[in-house]
Amino acid sequence: MFLCSVSELLVCVQRCVVLDIEGTTTPISFVADVLFPYARANARAYLADTYRTRQTMDDVAFLVSQIDRDLADGVPGAVPVPPAPDEEAIDALVANVEAMIDADRKLPALKQLQGRVWRLGFDSGEIRGVVYDDVAEALARWHGTGVVRSYVYSSGSREAQRLIFGNTEAHGDLRRYLSAFFDTSVGGKRESRSYYEIWQTLGVDSPSQILFLTDVYQEATAARDAGFEVLISIRPGNAPLPDDHGFQTITSFAQISV
């Protein structure tokens, strides 16, 4: 078991820690007030500058497949994307991207494109990742044990995850403490099967050897159903939890010990 002292909120981590980002390692305000607006403001320029590259053409095809499904399902804000000319196609793509961002949709195609745009901001220095001090300290401490491996599982693309942890404002590059990054290609974060897939990938004998930290009750429930140990992160700006949620909570990673 991970729990060593419930009364003191101490957790004994045996093998693996899997971390959510938004509301757990990183303030929700950073995602909502910095990353999302940057992607919204710069998507058009990015698409116009890179539209003929193979990477962007693949990203656009991925996005258009999602848009076609949205059109078939009557999703508000979805508009058809013409095959040509490029300017009209970009206008339609941007309209769809803006509608998706405004609705905070957790779509792999959107997250992939957002990650490409965010790279512009990180590369130029306009954006620096924000990670709580106690998170950076815990990652270093766990890594120093030589037996605890840390991972990230986020609805954001793996590229975006690497950018956030590789370019933090206060702690530099934290990727040296992280063994791998998971996104929703393994499945949705509110689906128990996704955590089963992560367990199979990590190679530990039992899912109970994995501790998952999140701020979202539905994610916590899905991970617990898959056999993970779970802690819910309480941070400023996080959504309230149900009164009878039944999970142990923490307000700082300093409350987790190995």
Question: In angstroms, rounded to a whole number, what is the distance separating the alpha carbons of residues 142 and 64?
Answer: 42
Q: Per DSSP, what are the bridge partners of residue 12? A: 257
Question: What are the residue boundaries of the structural domains of the chain, listed by start?
Answer: 3-26+129-255, 31-124
Residues in the chain: 258
Task: Give the model confidence (pLDDT) of 10-56 as tens digits.
Answer: 344 458 999 999 999 999 999 999 999 999 999 999 999 999 999 99
Q: What is the pTM of this model?
A: 0.89
Phi then psi for residue 103, to 5 deg, are: -90, 0
Which CATH code is given to the segment(s) 31-124? 1.10.720.60
When the candidates are 3.40.50.10490, 3.40.50.1000, 3.40.640.10, 3.40.630.10, the CATH number that belongs to 3-26+129-255 is 3.40.50.1000
- pLDDT in the model for residue 14: 54
- pLDDT in the model for residue 128: 97
Q: How far is CA 121 from CA 72, 154, 180, in A?
A: 34, 20, 23
| Paired tokens of 179 | 């063994």
Instruction: Round the average pLDDT of the chain to a whole number and report it.
Output: 93
